[in-house]
Amino acid sequence: MNITTGIKKIGDSQGVELSKEALESIGVTDFEHQTVDICVKNNRIIVSKHGKEDSRLMKNFGHLTDEPSIGEVDLSHDEDGN
């Protein structure tokens, strides 16, 4: 699910509007009392249901990204990006 949404000023903070469908897709159903966890990682903001544990796969390998690290070269594409 990909969503484009706006950012709103809420007091001294900023807020992001999330659709009911997006929240339900991560298991959030009590929109008044349930909390979520927010993680900023690799230039991404990740929202997940509070208390939901990562799988063993994500705990062990979730730090890996598609982006080459310093000193690494991506050999999967030629110079034109193909």
What's the predicted TM-score (pTM) here? Answer: 0.53
State residue 14's pLDDT score: 94
Per-residue pLDDT of the chain (82 residues; tens, 9 = 90+): 888 889 999 999 999 988 898 889 888 888 888 888 888 988 888 888 887 666 677 677 766 666 656 666 566 655 555 5
17 domain residue, yes or no: yes
68 domain residue, yes or no: no
CATH code at position 44: 2.10.260
State residue 80's pLDDT score: 58
State residue 82's pLDDT score: 54
73 domain residue, yes or no: no
Instruction: In whole angstroms, give the CA distance from residue 17 to residue 23.
Output: 10
Could you list the residue range(s) of the whole structural domain that residue 21 is in? 7-61
69 domain residue, yes or no: no
Q: How many CA atoms lie within 13 A of 54 on its CB side?
A: 12
Helices (H) and strands (E) in the chain, counts: 2, 4
Give the count of domains, the chain.
1
State residue 30's pLDDT score: 87
66 domain residue, yes or no: no
Instruction: In whole angstroms, give the CA distance from residue 72 to residue 34.
Output: 42
